[in-house]
Amino acid sequence: MSSCFILLFHLVCCILISLVTTSKPLSILLIEPLPSPSHHIWTTNLIKGLLRKGHHVHVVSTHETKIKDKLAQNLTYDVFDGVMKAMEESEENYNPFEWDSHNPLYMIHFIYNIWGIRACDTVIKTKTAKKLLEMIKIVEFDIILQDITLNECLYGLWEIAKGKPPIVGYIPYSSAPWLKDLIGGPSYPTVRPYIYLSIVKPIGLWQKTWNTVCFTVDDFIRHYYYLPIMQRLAETYVGHRIRPLHEIEKSSINILLLNSHPAFEYGIPLPPNTLEIAGLNAQAIKPIDGEIVVTYPEDMRAFLDGAKNGVIIISLGTNVKWKFIGLDKVKAVLLALSKLKQRVLWKLDIEVPFEIPNNLMIVKWMPQNEVLSHKNVRAIWTHGGLLSAQEAIWKGVPMIVMPFYVDQKLNAQKLVAKDVGIYLDVKTLSTHTVLHAVEEILYNERYTRNMKQLSSEFRDRPIPPLDLAIWGIEYAVRHPNGTLVTPLKYQSWMEQNLIDVYAFLFFNFTVILLIIFLTIKVFIKFYYRIYTTFNNKLHKRKQA
C-alpha cells in the first residue's frame, strides 16, 4: 500500500513539474530573412502553433505576418521593408520558365548569389534591420528562431543578443546541400541525391561520381566564395569583427527543425537535435477558442460540392507565374480541360482573353491545403514545390507535376518513382499531353492506391510534426546547453571520417614493418658476416 502511495506521489510530482516547465509563456524572437512566399506560408503555421500554446512571438520577416484573430494577441511583427519588391523586380530571379535548361552549376550560382548574397545585402540595409540590431542588444528573449536556409549574414545577431538565448534554426527547404555543415557528418552522396540534379537515387558508378562531384563543388563554393562574402556583410551589419560564420553555425544552433521525412526522401543518419517535421503545413489543426479557421469562399465551396465527377486542382505555387509560360499554352490547357467531365479549380495569375469552359473556375487565390481536404478532389496539377507535394501526400491526392527549377524537378522524379504522380514537361505542353496526363491520373487507379499508401506512411508518427517542432523549441529553452548536439559538428572532415586514425595506424604499421625489415636485414648481415668469417678461416686451414 505504501509503495503504491509513493509511486502515485512521484507520478503527481512529475505531472506538476511538467506543467510548471511547459506552462510558462516564452518570449520568442523569430527572424525570417529569406524573401520566399512559400517559406513564409510554412513559417506562419509554426507561428500559429506557438501562439496557440500561449507563447509571445515577435516576428521580423520579409513578409507581413497576417494573423488577425485571437492568436494575434501575443504577436508583434516588423517587416524588412522593400525586400520582396526588390527581389520581384529582378527578371532573372522571377522567370523560372527560362531556368529549365540551366545546369546544376548555374543553380549553385543562382542560389548563393541571388537568394543568398543579394537578398542578405538588401535585408541588412533596411530600417527594420537597424531596428532589430538595436533591439536585440537591450531586449532579452527566451529563444531565437531563425530560417537558416540562407542569409547567414544575420548570424552576427546571435553573437550580440542580450542574455545569449538558445538558437533554434529551421529549414523549410528540406535537405539543402549544406545540411552537413549544420548537423555534422558527411553529405551521404551515395544515397542522397544532389538537389539540383534530378537524380532520385544515385545508381551506378557514373551517377554516384557526378553526385559526389556536385556536393563537393557546392561545399567548396560555400566555404571559399559564399561564406567569406557573408562574413563581410555580417561584420558590416553589426559594426565590428565577429567569429567566422562557420564556427557560429556549428556552436550556436541547439535544435534544427528540418522539413523532411523518410517516407518521401531517403533517410540519412540524423543527430538527436535534428527533428524531421515535414507535414507541419499540412496536418489538421484543432483551433483554439476565438481563432478564425481558414476556409474557402462560398462560391468555391459550391463549385466543389457540386462536382459529382470530381475536381482537379491546378496550382503552380507562389513563385511560378503563368504569364511566363505564355497565352498559347494557356489556350491549349483550356481546350484540354473543356473536354473533361470533371470540374477544374485553377489558380491563374493572368487575365484570360478566351472563352472559359463551364466546368472551369478560375481564381486568383485558393487555400490549397483546405481545398485538398475536400471529398471531391481527385487530383492536383502542381509545380512540384515541396510544400504542395507534402500537402497532397498528407491528403492522399495523386499529382500531375510540371516542375521548373531548384528542387521541383527532383520532387517530381521522386513522385514518379513512387508511382503517385505523372511528369508533365512544360516545353511540350499541349492539349494532347495535358489530356493524356489528366486521364491517366484520374482513371488509372494505381496512382490513387499508391498515394493512399504513401500518405499513411507519411502521417504515421508518434507525435504530429507541429507538436514535435514546438516540443523542440521548448526543450531548447529548458536545456540551453545543447545536450542533443552531436560532437561530430565540432570535428573536422578528417576526424569524422577517421582519416587521422587510419593515417596513424598506417604510419605505425609502416614503422613496425620497417623495424621488422631492418631487424631481418641486420640479422642477415650479421649471419652473413659470421658465415663468411668462418668460411675464410676454414679455407685458410685447408690451404695450410
Give, for all 544 residues of the chain, the pLDDT tens digit: 444 444 344 434 444 334 444 468 999 999 999 999 999 999 999 999 999 999 999 999 999 998 988 889 999 999 999 888 887 776 455 566 666 667 777 788 888 998 899 999 999 999 999 999 999 999 999 999 999 999 999 999 999 999 999 999 999 987 789 998 988 888 899 899 998 887 888 888 999 999 999 999 999 999 999 999 999 999 999 999 999 999 999 999 999 999 999 999 888 889 999 999 999 999 988 888 888 787 888 999 999 999 999 999 999 988 788 888 889 999 999 999 999 999 999 999 888 888 899 999 999 999 999 999 999 999 999 999 999 999 999 999 999 999 988 889 999 999 999 999 999 999 899 999 999 999 999 999 999 999 999 999 999 999 999 999 999 999 999 999 888 888 888 887 788 778 889 999 999 999 999 999 999 989 898 888 887 877 777 777 766 6
Q: Are residues 326 and 220 in the same domain?
A: no
Q: What is the DSSP letter of 226?
A: I
Residues 6+ apart with CB under 8 A from 409: 198, 384, 403
First to last CA, the chain: 110
CA pair distance 382, 287, nearest whole angstrom:
28
DSSP string, 121-177: HHHHTSHHHHHHHHHHHHSPPSEEEEE-SS-GGGGHHHHH-TT---EEEEETT-S-T
Report whether 333 contacts 354 (CB < 8 A): no
Tell me, yes or no, whether 340 lies in a domain.
yes
Within this chain, do residues 96 and 136 fall inside the same structural domain, yes or no?
yes
Residue 329 burial (CB < 10 Å; 0-12/13-18/19+)? middle
pTM of the model: 0.88
* 450 and 469 share one domain: no
Task: Give yes or no: residues 363 and 214 share one domain.
Answer: no
Shared domain for 34 and 138, answered yes or no, is yes
Query: Is 290 a domain residue?
Result: no
Please tell me the total count of domains within the chain. 3
In this structure, the answer to whether residues 276 and 349 fall within a common structural domain is no
Cell of 508: 605505425
Q: Is residue 14 part of a domain?
A: no
312 Rama class: left (phi>0) / alpha (psi -120 to 50) / beta: beta
CATH number of the domain enclosing 91: 3.40.50.2000
Same domain, 445 and 468: no
484 with 496, same domain? no
355: CB partners within 8 A, 6+ apart:
none
196 and 238 co-located in one domain: yes
Same domain, 471 and 510: no
Within-domain flag for 416: yes
Look at residue 425 and tell me if it is in a domain.
yes
**Looking at the structure, do residues 167 and 220 belong to the same domain, yes or no?**
yes
CB 362 within 8 A of CB 286: no
Would residue 111 count as lying in a domain?
A: yes
Nearest to 471 by CA among 17, 49, 27: 49
Number of residues that make up the chain: 544
Sign of CA dihedral 320, 323, 326, 331: positive
Residues 72 and 188 in one domain: yes
Kindly state whether residue 527 falls inside one of the protein's structural domains: no
Query: Is there a domain that residue 10 lies in?
Result: no
> Domain containing 514: what range?
491-521
Task: For CA atoms 54, 58, 63, 67, give the dihedral sign.
Answer: positive
Taking each helix axis from N to C end, the angle separating 445-459 and 386-395, rounded to the nearest 10 degrees, works out to: 100
